[in-house]
Structure 1
Amino acid sequence: MTEIATQERADYLADTHTGLPLPTEPVFDSVEDDRRHRKQRLTAALRLFGKYGYGEGVSGHISVRDPEGDDLFWVNPFGVPFSRVKVRDLILVDSKGRVVEGHHRLNPSAFVIHSAIHRAHPGAVAAAHGHTPHSRALGALGRLLEPLDQESAAFYGDQVLYGDYEGPSISLAQGEDIADRLGDKRAILLRHHGLITVGGSVDEAVHWFFTYEAAAQVQLLAAAAGQVQPMSHEQAEAARDGFGDRHLGWFSFQLLWDEIVHEQPDLLDE
């Protein structure tokens, strides 16, 4: 029998999957602490959408499942700009589309899309949706991201194109269809519509959204300039193993969190 040699981890590598010195995700002593954390992260994500120009009128929403009720989720209110949302503005929505906590109205599209995703996918603790220009342009071409660089490779084999456009998403059937087509992927590009990304936290889901939109821009720029040269299958898998790491996705948002809370501390107002 041949003995398989084990390679020791180099001293400069941390004891994580990627070798990066990533801290562990927080663990909370109470449901109340967990809920406050999720609501703060959600509000910060909405402010970041506002800062980076991801708003499009009343369109776009980010949600996170409530830690105590699987049929409840927090989402941004209808008609409040991303750049103005505070923690106290968030609304809690139940499985019937009723606002059970909060003083604002609910966007019907937010309900039919996010309720279906949270119900169908237990691992999708959070979902981010926006009508950003580069993702919309990519969808108009009927194309998904190609593994042109390390960041886009995070979605290699982990994205799906949804082409069954039926107008604004206000029917339960359409929301359920989107959730079904999403499956176990982290991103679904809605042709003629926009982008949805999901994750095990607001942090992760929003990081994937930012990364997808930026990668779509790179792909469109590269294709306009000449013939693109995607990675090989082996290269794309190797890049996805690092840049598609969920722990790295979660941590990457922490930099955005520090940025936006420093610049706009009023977002934390309860």
Structure 2
Amino acid sequence: MSSPALRHEAAPDGWRQRVSHAFSRAAIDYERLATAQRVMGDALWARLPREAMHILDLGCGPGGWSQSLAEHYASGARVIGLDLAPGMLDVARRDRGDGVHWVCGDATALPLASAGLDLVFSNLALQWCPDLDAALAELHRTLRPGGRALINTLGPETLAEVGYAWQRPGRRTALLDFRRPEHYREAACRAGFRRVSVDASRPRFHYPNMTAVMASIKGVGAQASRPGGHLTRADLVRASQRYERLREPEGLPVTYHLLTLELER
């Protein structure tokens, strides 16, 4: 068994390979399991500008938001769906329409021209980038003056209940080291964005049991463990018992520390 979520443990190249593999493997089941991701994306969608012609969906996954963007901004708009995981793009090409240009690429080295985008939409991808400064510098480079980036990412209180359940004496849980809001704000200012807004919220979701909780996390790709993070069957039983102490009438809670960034170049 592996611990529940990714950490920045590997060197950058190894990290990219692990993330790409984990999300490619999750591609087939992503849409079925990504309820929380869709709900959080809906809140980001409500912030869309009225007009945009050249649009990037950064970390597009199996392409649901990319297709919605193409339909929303019809009338000649060009939408690029970009993801690090080839498996996600395979599903996107298979299941989505022809109105999106699919690209396999890295957020820290976008294969796009400078000052060509009106809008970047990114729902829950930026937290997987170990080099935040490079990723935001690339967004600034590729947006035209006046262009906007709308980004959902995750803060340090994310999955607190999961961390509690998997905690073991003398050992850290293997959860991702989510960045604090000020890290995003400062990095966006360093990148050169003239307007930076970072809003925080804490959406909470409920699941019937520990298996469903872990499927909601690992089933969408967040499933690589840190070195030495392998767990025994006894660890699983212990984690389930600890999680049960947090049960609410609606089920076992999973809270996300959602950070929503609005950046204007």
Q: Same fold (TM over 0.5)?
A: no
TM-score (norm 2): 0.28
In terms of fraction of residues, the more strand-rich structure is: 2
In terms of fraction of residues, the more helix-rich structure is: 1
